[in-house]
Amino acid sequence: MTTLSKRKLGSSGLDIAPLVFGGNVFGWTADEVTSFALLDGFVEAGFDAIDTADAYSRWAPGHSGGESETIIGKWLKARGRRDDVKILTKVGSDMGQGYNDLSPAWIETAVEASLRRLQTDYIDLYQTHWPDPNTPQEETLRALDKLVQAGKVRAIGTSNHSAEQVSEALDISQREDLAAYATIQPHYNLYSRDTFEGGLQDLAVEKGLGVITYFSLESGFLTGKYKTVDQIAGTKREDMLKDKFDERGVRILAVLDAVAQKNEATSAQVALAWLLAQPGVTAPIVSATSTEQLADTLKAATLKLSDEDLAELTEASAYRSCKTGVTRPRSSPPRRG
C-alpha cells in the first residue's frame, strides 16, 4: 500500500488522503463486481475516503436511490475494511417526497436507512446535500447535532449551499452550541471557477472548512479525451459538453495539454493537481468505471506542479469579457451547483 500525506478535513477530526472516490457510479455505470474492484484498487493505492449519497443513483431508470450505499455496505462487510476508510454520505435530496428535505423527521428516518444500507453503525461525515427552503437551518442543525451526540455521525458538512447559507449555519451552531459544519462540497474545477471562488472560498479559508470538490474534471471535459466539439458529436456527452468548447474552454484544454506533456502526465492528472494547489481545497472527488482509469487518475495525488505551471493554468482559465478582454474579478458570485 502506498503511504500518502493526509490532509485535515476541516475541524471534523478526520484526516484523509488527498483524493476522494465519488461513489455515484456504484450500481449505476459500475456493477457490483466492478465496484468492488474499484474500491479494492482505491484503498490498496493508499486512499481512504469514499463519498456517496442516499439519492445515488435515483436518476437511473428503475432505481429508487440507495444503490451506491448498498454496494459500499456489501464491500465493507465482505472486505472487513470499515476501520480503514472514511464514509461520506449525504441527506436531503428528493427521495420520493418531491422536494429537497432537511426536516428533522426526514433526517432521523434517512440516517437509519443509510446506516442500514452501509452496514455500519456510524457515518464519518454526514452532509446536507441541497438547501431546503422549507426548513429553518436551526431545525436541521439540531437534528444533525442529535446524531453526533448519539455517535451515529462523527462530523457534519454541507454541499451546494451558498456562502451566505453556510455562514448563517456556522453562526447558528456557535450561538446554540450545536455541532457545526466542518466541510463544504462545491462544484469546482479549472473550467468552473466561479462556482467556488469568491465568497465561498473566502469563507472556507477564514473558517478552516474542509473543501471536497465535485465535478472535479467537469464531467470529462478536462480529461483531455476530447479536443474538439466534433469528437463528442452524437455521443452521450454532447449535450453536456458542447457549450464548453468556446474560446476559453479551448484555451484551457491547450494549456492543460502543454503542461501535461511538460510533466509527463495526463490532462486529468494536471487538472486535479491544480485543484489540490488552490486555497482551501482539501481533496477533489474523482471517479472511474475501470481499474485502469482509476489507477491513472490517482497519480494526480503525487503530481507536483511548478509555480509557473500553476500560474499558466490559472491565467488560461480566467474569465474574460468578450468585448474588452478584461479578466473578470475573482469576487464574482458563485453559481449554485
**What b/e readout covers 182-199, taking b as 16+ CB neighbours within 10 angstroms?**
bbbbbbbbbbbbbbbbbb
Residue 13 near residue 155 (C-beta atoms within 8 A): yes
Q: What is the rounded CA–CA span in Å between residue 116 and residue 89? A: 13
Q: What is the rounded CA–CA span in Å between residue 126 and residue 130? A: 13
- Burial status of residue 208 (CB atoms within 10 A of its CB: 0-12, 13-18, 19 or more): exposed
Residues 6 or more apart whose Cβ sits within 8 Å of residue 81: 43, 75
Is residue 56 flagged as an active site residue? yes
DSSP labels, 185-242: E-B--SS--TTTTTHHHHHHHHHT-EEEEBSTTGGGGGGSS--SGGGGTTSTTHHHHG
Nearest Cα residue to 214 out of 166, 146, 286: 286
Residue 138 near residue 107 (C-beta atoms within 8 A): no
- Burial status of residue 66 (CB atoms within 10 A of its CB: 0-12, 13-18, 19 or more): buried
Residue-level length of the chain: 337
**Marked catalytic residue, from 56, 181, 214, 226:** 56
Catalytic machinery residues: 56
